[in-house]
Amino acid sequence: MHLKTFVVFKGVKRGMKTLVIASERSLDFGRKIARKLHKPFSKLLTKHFPDGELYLRYPIPLKGAHVILVDSMQPNPDDALVELLFGTASARAHGAKKVTLVIPYMGFLRQDKEFHPGETVSNKIVADLLSRADRIVTMDPHLHRISSLKQIFKTKTKTLTANDILAQHLKAKHKGALVVGPDGESFQWARSVASKAGLHAIVLNKKRYTSEKVRILVKSDVPLKGRDIVIVDDIISTGHTMIEPIKQFKRMKVKSITCIGIHGVFAMNALQKLKKLGSKVECTNTIQNPVSIIDVTDAFVEALR
Ligand code: R5P
């Protein structure tokens, strides 16, 4: 564990001091935010005791400060949740005046209903627990049966979207591509991002049977042979929502396929599976991974100023 990670940047404003502190899984993201805000940055020190329990320590004094704790909820979402809860309570115990949680990828939102009797509706429980913070800033949370985080959180929330940044990315790197939303829910990203980028979009229909089994039928109002295809979705988890149409696009002899996810979770070797099918994969950096090449920190900085 390194204690020399507390770096002071120039330009710290007078008044309540603001400290940006990031967990191991969000170090790059946190550093970028701190640098752009001209605030001090440090790493949240965590480890597990021999019995598996979480140990968490702030390596700097927090008294009177506004603590911005950056912790995305992937990988290891259960650990991240406990870190966020301990982090919030511990910051207060050490005298922080205000605690803002920056959660670039908010987990636990897809279990938003009791699909089978006795199941836990995770999104409400997690929202309730995290509401101990003063403010929560996140990006494109998976909202299906609710329309806003404000319906489940008891604290202030700021929901950002990557749409403008994705549109700029498509304009710069995927000129002339056909944008594909793999299911009805992706309509909101695919259509809006495509129209901002001046590209045509089609949206497919998906039926999900289990976490790993989905059925998607590719239907298009424009010819697909020889086209560059960009499939856009909010989350790439097991990758099956992308894999199903990729297989059909390949049979239709498209020129190239790129999968773009706002949040690259890549459970169960999804990234390797997508690459093996010959698809390029690009994600934002809400989750740190080898393909998180689209930087969305500017949107967070704007919201935190
Ligand atoms: C669900 O409706 C989401 O928008 C994504 O399509 C889904 O989470 C992707 O999951 P997977 O990669 O496991 O198919």
The two structure tokens encoding residue 37: 């805000």
Instruction: Compute the distance between CA of residue 294 and CA of residue 106 in angstroms, rounded to an integer.
Output: 18
How sure is the predictor about 187, in pLDDT bands with cuts at 50, 70 and 90?
confident
- Reduced to 3 states, what is the DSSP secondary structure of residue 257? strand
Tokens of 297: 């920190």
Are β-strands 54-57 and 45-48 bridged in parallel, bridged antiparallel, or unpaired?
antiparallel
Contact of 171 with 195, CB cutoff 8 Å: no
The CA 265 to ligand 1 mean position distance, Å, reads 10
Decide if 206 is catalytic: yes
- Residue 143 has phi, psi (to 5 degrees) of -110, 115
Q: Which atom of ligand 1 is nearest to the CA of 144?
A: 2
Contacts of 154 (CB under 8 A, 6+ apart): 127, 128, 131
Backbone phi, then psi, for 261, in 5-degree steps?
Answer: -120, 140
Ligand 1 centroid to Cα of residue 9, in Å, is: 39
DSSP annotation of 235 reads E
Q: Could you tell me the distance, in angstroms and rounded to a whole number, from the CA of residue 245 to the centre of ligand 1?
A: 13
- The per-residue pLDDT for range 50-98, each reduced to its tens digit, is 999 999 999 999 999 999 999 999 999 999 999 999 999 999 999 999 9
- Per-residue pLDDT for 12 more than 60? no
Pocket test for ligand 1, best of 241, 266, 274 (most atoms within 8 A of CB): 241
Catalytic residue among 206, 247, 275, 276: 206
Taking the C-alpha atoms of residue 11 and residue 117, their distance in angstroms, rounded to an integer, is 54
- pLDDT 10s digits, 168-177: 999 999 999 9
Q: Where in the chain is the domain with CATH 3.40.50.2020?
A: 8-161+297-304, 163-285
Q: Which fold has domain 8-161+297-304?
A: Rossmann fold (3.40.50)
Q: State which fold the 163-285 domain adopts.
A: Rossmann fold (3.40.50)
Question: What does 59-85 look like in DSSP terms, one character per residue?
Answer: SS--TT-EEEEE--S-SSHHHHHHHHH
Confidence band, pLDDT 50/70/90 cuts, at residue 14: low
